[in-house]
Amino acid sequence: MVIQERTGSRLRNPQQLVPELADVGAALFKATGNGTVPRTTIGLVQLRIGQIVGSTYLVVLHTGNLRAAGESEERIAAVATWQDAPYFTEAERAALALAEAVAQPSAAGERVTDELYAGAAEHYDEKALATLAMAIGQVNFFAALAVIGKPLPGRPPAEQWTPVQD
């Protein structure tokens, strides 16, 4: 099997193309960092969504962030199979279930059922649920840039958005 490494992103740095993105990103980070949901839980949710949307860039980014925060390799690796992994608290499981419900189509129609919401509400108050919803939205906002623009994973920020020159 030959592994082909991408030599450039599809887009130039979106923040250079749309400078207002810096303010949006900073505001989202501030809103999700209000302390109602642990940063670790947010990181787990964002990693799971990166896996669901199939973005190597997001998976590498959020895996690295979780490692830097001191998360174990077992917990990081088990995010993809969190439902039967013994490494997560009930609150983290509720957050991961919400993230999956939002990120994946549901054959039954409704993505976030009353039962799923009630399960999450057992662990999070209204402000925390709103924060969790914003964290899910935050990674989905950036997921679009990641899957369309194809930034280079595992590179320093200045090298992530380096388009192939024709």
The DSSP symbol for 161 reads S
Flag whether 133 is in a domain: yes
C-alpha distances out from residue 59 to 48, 153, 162, Å? 8, 9, 19
CA angle 47, 50, 54 (to 5 degrees): 145
Which is nearest to 14 in space by CA: 136, 135, 146? 146
Q: 134 lies in a domain? A: yes
- The pTM for the full model equals 0.91
- CATH code of residue 71: 1.20.1290.10
* 140 domain-assigned: yes
Give a yes or no: residue 8 inside a domain: no
Q: What is the C-alpha separation between 57 and 10, in angstroms, rounded?
A: 13
Is residue 103 domain-resident? Answer: yes
> Please, which residues bridge with residue 163 across strands?
9
Q: Residue 66 belongs to what domain range?
A: 31-154
Neighbours of 90 (CB within 10 A): 10
Tally the domains of the chain: 1
- Residue at 79 is within a domain: yes
Tokens of 8: 């450039």
Is residue 93 assigned to a domain?
A: yes
Asked if residue 89 is part of any domain, the answer here is yes
Tens-level pLDDT at each residue, the chain (166 residues):
666 666 889 999 999 999 999 999 999 999 999 999 999 999 999 999 999 999 999 999 999 999 999 999 999 999 999 999 999 999 999 999 999 999 998 887 889 999 999 999 999 999 999 999 999 999 999 999 999 999 999 998 889 998 876 5
